[in-house]
Amino acid sequence: MHPMYEDFAHTDITQKIIGASFEVHKFLGNGFQEIIYQRALAIELSRLRLGYAREIEVDIFYKDVAEPIGTRRADFIVENKVLIELKAISLLEDLHIAQTLNYLKVYKLEVGLLINFGGKSLAIKRLAYCRKP
């Protein structure tokens, strides 16, 4: 698929995810634990008929070593294209952005959404990981 069309697919999916996130935040507000928002967002994604997987574990490798040095779990992978990392904290920090970018790298995805339900207003950061040739 041509890269330009690939971006449209990401845009359509991310717009739906963002709308679903606003719906969750509008209903629940802030102050709940992350798992509550994760479950509510799963319901909204299902209503939108978006395919997703939750808490899929991926191995972390170091250089050419065959054995993994650890594992990590992203909150959602939507339509095998968009990674979602949820937070329920008062303020997003640079380390949360770095975490999401690292997840994009290890999951081999290009687009991710870092969504924070913990503030008075919903905070969403769209992040892109460009693989080096």
Residue 16, in any domain of the structure: yes
In CATH, what number is assigned to the domain containing residue 75? Answer: 3.40.1350
Assigned domain for 111 exists: yes
Q: Supply the range of the domain harboring residue 82.
A: 3-128
Number of domains in the chain: 1
Tell me the C-alpha distance between 5 and 9, whole Å. Answer: 7
pTM, whole model, 2 decimals? 0.88
Q: Is residue 83 part of a domain?
A: yes
Query: What integer pLDDT is reported at residue 8 of this predicted model?
Result: 55
Question: Is residue 56 situated within a structural domain?
Answer: yes
pLDDT at residue 4 in the model = 42
Q: Give the position of tokens 């990674």.
A: 83
Task: Decide: 20 and 46 in contact? Cβ < 8 Å.
Answer: no
Q: What is the pLDDT along the chain (133 residues), one digit of tens a residue?
A: 434 444 556 889 999 999 999 999 999 999 999 999 999 999 999 999 999 999 989 989 888 888 999 998 999 999 999 999 999 999 999 999 999 999 999 999 999 999 999 999 999 999 998 876 5
Distance CA 21, CA 52 (A): 14
Q: What number of H helices and E strands is found in the chain?
A: 3, 5
133 within domain boundaries: no
